[in-house]
Structure 1
Amino acid sequence: MFKNVLFVCVGNICRSPSAEVMLRQSLEGKGIQVSSAGLGALVGHGIDATAQALLVEHGLNGDSHRARQIDDAILGSADLVLTMERKHVHRIAEVAPQASGKTFLLGKWQQDREIPDPYRQQRPAFEHVYRLMAEGVESWARHF
């Protein structure tokens, strides 16, 4: 049983915090911890303004998020690590081989679909990524 889920992307300001908020809302009341971190985090930064706007439009809120860098302790406490791209899975396996057996793509149930980085792109890119993440979150939520 998964009790602690970690989302990982690069900067921890767009994709992973958005997916974190989405899954947390989906699993509300189930006692499951959901968090996020970045492989190259913009430590201390809040969620990207466009990502936050999309969350708000869907009745969610990522205002309290502050980006953090992934480390052994964060990885060690996670029961499930969900990444956005294959290169994130590979990077985690390199830096923390012990976590590789619990690390998967958020898009695993969509034929291992990757979710591209919308950072510094226009709103349509964020909307596309939001839809992909929502599908991935919905698919994973069924397994809790």
Structure 2
Amino acid sequence: MFKNILIVCIGNICRSPMAEQLLRAALASSGIAVRSAGLAALRDQPLESTAGQVLHEHGHVPQGHRARQLSAEAVSEADLILVMEHRHIDGVLNLAPEARGKVFLLGKWQHDREITDPYRQGKPAFVQTYALIEQAVQAWAQRLAR
């Protein structure tokens, strides 16, 4: 049984906080804790404004996100770590090799789909990223909420 899920991207201001918000909502009744962090986090920065706007337009109310740096402690506490790109798996394992076996792509159930970074690419990129994250989150939620 998973109790703590960690979602990882690079800056922790776009993809991982969006996925954190969606997965937390999808698993709200499960008691599973969902957090996010970045491999090269823009520490203490808020959610990127376009990411927040897209979340809001889809009925989510982002609350007080502050980017945090991935740490060995956060990796250790997590039962499952979901990342956006294959290279993020390597980044997590470089920090904590013992995490092997609990790090997967968020897009695992979509044929190991990577979700690229929309940062500084305009709203259409964020809308596309949201759609990919939503599909991936729903697939994970179906498997985790059993």
Output the TM-score relative to the length of structure 2. Answer: 0.97
Q: In 2, Cα distance between the equivalents of 1:100 and 1:88?
A: 12
For 1:4, the equivalent position in structure 2 comes to: 4
Report runs of 4+ in structure 1 exceeding 6 Å deviation.
none
- In structure 1, runs of 5+ residues without a counterpart are none
For 1:26, the equivalent position in structure 2 comes to: 26
For 2:138, the equivalent position in structure 1 comes to: 138
Shift of 1:140: 0.2
Q: Which one-letter code corresponds to 2:85 in the other structure?
A: E
Give secondary structure in 1 for the equivalent of 2:70.
coil
Q: How many positions carry a matched residue from both structures?
A: 144
Q: How does 1:42-57 map to 2 (within 5 A)?
A: 42-57=42-57
For 2:73, the equivalent position in structure 1 comes to: 73
Shift of 1:40: 0.2
Shift of 1:63: 3.1
Shift of 1:64: 1.0
Shift of 1:100: 1.8
- In structure 2, runs of 5+ residues without a counterpart are none
Output the TM-score relative to the length of structure 1. Answer: 0.98
Over the aligned positions, Cα root-mean-square deviation in angstroms equals 0.7
